[in-house]
Structure 1
């Protein structure tokens, strides 16, 4: 996986192509149809190749994407009302290594990896994609297919996160609603230290599904 295009297509390849993914900054997110992103490579046109992207965005705003596909009436910000369905559950993991003297009991990266191994032993569930955000991890578990919201329990993400939090035994942010944005790999985290400034893909298993 070598580009933002590869990442978006891998994460949402089971979703209906007429749905939208929002991409942009905190101030301005634009809706892109999955069909356009995969067929016309609009994302590649936006960002160019990896080296061009790193130089262009070194001093600019951070880039995000909507974790869940949105409908055509989206207000340019992901929300429960505009979310059509889900093809994944996820974890937004802040790591102790990047939190300094925080009073919250964040896990170390090793503690998180230990909890992932425990999850697999207990349930057989493995992550599909792990993204290092620059200050933590965004962990995506793809479902076996795309589900419309009316087909599922709307607390599915929250319940998954609650279960993992019990295995972890540490602080884990609650991000179980649908108004969520993830950091786009190969872009910049302006809050991170220089050595972790680029958002990277740490793990990819295309066969792993929940």
Structure 2
């Protein structure tokens, strides 16, 4: 049985422009071998096809089927995958949103639908959503710009609040197949498009301009020169997370393009509302930061304030969560730490000043 619909074929064809080969990856088809260290290892089956000509999914292969998002110019073997070093082009930026990070699929959908710019494609995987922002032209990758592409994808995932799935060689579930994880049985969900607009295209420079600078992961070390322990000083962890989140939200409003400012402000307000819902910043402080950011740029400040307030209210229904944080992490009492961000800038300094100050401190 061919599980690929015409819509899925068109989608895969588009993502694999600029490369020669692409592949499916079957999670449950495993071959066991002995590694150089003498330990038993497992590798999973890959089904390769020419880019632009998606192969039929082999008969009987119906469980946990993924595809390589980006194409390659090197055809691999039956148990080989694309690597970051062999990706040939980008035709989208993408992000994955796990429902467990948002407490429900409804909250996940609310977050993704509030994103600006809006995704071209949204796929429900059964346990979350995959969002794709299609590029108008293939971005060809070679050794000269590969690291630039890595940084762009990392920064984009961080900007939109997705899971930490930023590698160029990422595989995601094929629309039209089923997610057969045991926890979803016996009625295993179909992986399917919830939104599909192949005409919603973006220039890569347009999206890159929205990614805050200094998006690379920053390794913090303590006085013993050890990698930062996430369990030390809960209050400091919350403050560091909050400081970076507020900077990114304010920056997105400050740099919103004409014609996109309303949607950007709405999305920023929803994101700020998630911080309010978590108890990390007061509603008044969140509103003031966004008013400062849009001041002088909105045609109608009264309407902008209404947008900010409604967005914050919506965002509070899906409180933010620090990924991999200890379960006993404390919230700042009365949000005092959060409100210092506003007081530090006296509520009157321009967003440019706020951003420059945040950058000088090594912000995200």
Q: TM-score of the superposition, structure 1-length normalised?
A: 0.71
Q: Which has the higher helix share?
A: 2
Where relative contact order (Cα < 8 A, 6+ residues apart) is larger, the structure is: 1
Q: TM-score of the superposition, structure 2-length normalised?
A: 0.43
The runs of at least 4 consecutive aligned structure 1 residues that moved more than 3 Å come to 2-5, 14-18, 105-118, 150-153, 193-196
Q: Pick closer, same or farther for the CA change 1:85–1:113 going to 2, 3 Å.
A: same
Quote the Cα distance in structure 2 between the aligned partners of 1:175 and 1:10: 20
Q: Residue 33 of structure 1 aligns with which residue?
A: 50
CA displacement at 1:71 relative to structure 2: 1.9
CA displacement at 1:7 relative to structure 2: 1.2
Q: Residue 56 of structure 2 aligns with which residue?
A: 43
Q: 2:73 aligns with which of 50, 71, 74?
A: 71
Quote the Cα distance in structure 2 between the aligned partners of 1:175 and 1:113: 18
CA displacement at 1:107 relative to structure 2: 5.1
Quote the Cα distance in structure 1 between the aligned partners of 2:185 and 2:130: 17
Answer with 1 or 2: which has the greater Rg: 2
Q: 2:87 aligns with which of 78, 83, 89?
A: 83
C-alpha contact (below 8 Å) 1:126/1:209 kept by paired residues = no
How many aligned residue pairs are there?
A: 176
- Equivalent positions of 1:1-210 (< 5 A) are 3-13=4-14, 15-16=16-17, 19-26=20-27, 27-37=44-54, 42-43=55-56, 46=58, 60-74=62-76, 76-96=80-100, 105-106=101-102, 108-120=104-116, 125-150=117-142, 153-165=149-161, 172-191=162-181, 192-210=184-202
Quote the Cα distance in structure 1 between the aligned partners of 2:102 and 2:111: 13
What per-residue deviation string (whole Å, max 9, x for no partner) do you get for residues 62-96 of structure 1?
11100111222435212102211110111111103
| CA RMSD across the alignment | 2.6
Which runs of no fewer than 5 residues in structure 2 stay unpaired?
28-43, 203-364
Q: Which has the higher strand share?
A: 1
C-alpha contact (below 8 Å) 1:63/1:187 kept by paired residues = yes
Q: Pick closer, same or farther for the CA change 1:35–1:145 going to 2, 3 Å.
A: same
Q: Residue 101 of structure 1 aligns with which residue?
A: none
Q: Pick closer, same or farther for the CA change 1:136–1:10 going to 2, 3 Å.
A: same
